[in-house]
Structure 1
């Protein structure tokens, strides 16, 4: 079976200062562009069977700069919708909720563009994406590359491994990195994590 290769987009201004960046469509910083370009050697000479991206420009630009052509935007790959916490840092949230955790406490509803999601809702999107990806992986005609966002990819990893969505908290994921999910003896495994070529 082929590998599922995960790429977290390059740095944005909001990711650099810890702001929760769900559906807000912020661009890559100059460093984020460099991070994305630095991924190109990893993909040079590889022929993925499928490349999917989040529709947000930070993911689309990362795919393009990494040399991943023919990427298909997939709305299930959007970042976690942070609702009323969109654009706010964890430190700011913890001023009024000292023990707050995205993974266990979730987010309050925001405006109509940011209604918010629970871990289970993000997990359902990850499950839909994995169901569409699975036949391509089983065909073993090349890897599937997903270029998306930190929290979403962490949930996707948890679901690939058969864990609850909130177990994504275990998989810290840096900007501009490549990770690989694979199988060993028919069981799902992490084959590489947070690598930079």
Structure 2
């Protein structure tokens, strides 16, 4: 059985500004760096066998800070990348209101009318396939995975038997951890 430590990256400048990130990036804020350092302290007594991060800067930087105590090869995996929000990426709610109105439907249906928007079922398949793949590489291991909010939400939905687009799973806080044993019983 693989024990996963599912971690959301620290706070970013765009989180603070209310901008939607998705597959785009912005650096961690001072708060985000402090969150990552605090999490690294919390995890330093934990024996981790592997450390993976999304290739996006905010997740990699959080993982690098965690790795100051773990001293493991830091591997990136494209399957850990955040959902693509298409034309809404980098925008605040007061920009492109017609797209934000379409975005509000994301918790009611699989796909929304925003160019480039990744459907929830596609993200869910990608996330669950990635976890299964990491389990195959690291059976009977403790694996930290630094990823993103929507990615974590669809995993929570899949494990709870909810539709991938459901908001039944709450958004995980920045630099927080959820434990998961895989395969799920």
TM bin, normalised by shorter chain, reads 0.7 to 0.9
Q: Counterparts of 2:168 and 2:113 in 1: how far apart (Å)?
A: 15
- Evaluate the alpha carbon distance shift between residue 99 and residue 66 of structure 1 in structure 2; reply closer, same or farther with a 3 A threshold: closer
Q: Counterparts of 2:40 and 2:118 in 1: how far apart (Å)?
A: 33
Shift of 1:53: 0.6
Does structure 2 conserve the Cα–Cα contact (< 8 Å) formed by 1:10 and 1:36?
yes
Q: Structure 2 unaligned runs (5+)?
A: none
Count matched residues. 179
Moved runs in structure 1, 4+ residues, more than 6 A?
Answer: none
Q: Structure 1 unaligned runs (5+)?
A: 110-114, 188-197
Other-structure match for 1:57: 57
Other-structure match for 1:78: 81
- Evaluate the alpha carbon distance shift between residue 125 and residue 136 of structure 1 in structure 2; reply closer, same or farther with a 3 A threshold: same
Q: Counterparts of 1:179 and 1:8 in 2: how far apart (Å)?
A: 9
Shift of 1:99: 8.4
- Offset from partner CA, 1:71-93 (integer Å, 9 cap, x none): 21111111110001112234656
Shift of 1:116: 2.3
Shift of 1:94: 5.7
Judge which range, 66-75 or 48-57, deviates more: 66-75
Q: Counterparts of 1:104 and 1:88 in 2: how far apart (Å)?
A: 22
Matches within 5 A, 1:29-178: 29-67=29-67, 68=70, 69-90=72-93, 97=101, 100-104=104-108, 106=112, 108-109=114-115, 115-136=116-137, 139-140=139-140, 142-167=141-166, 169-178=168-177
Give the TM-score normalised by the residue count of structure 2.
Answer: 0.83
| Equivalent position SS for 1:146 | strand
Pairwise CA RMSD: 2.6
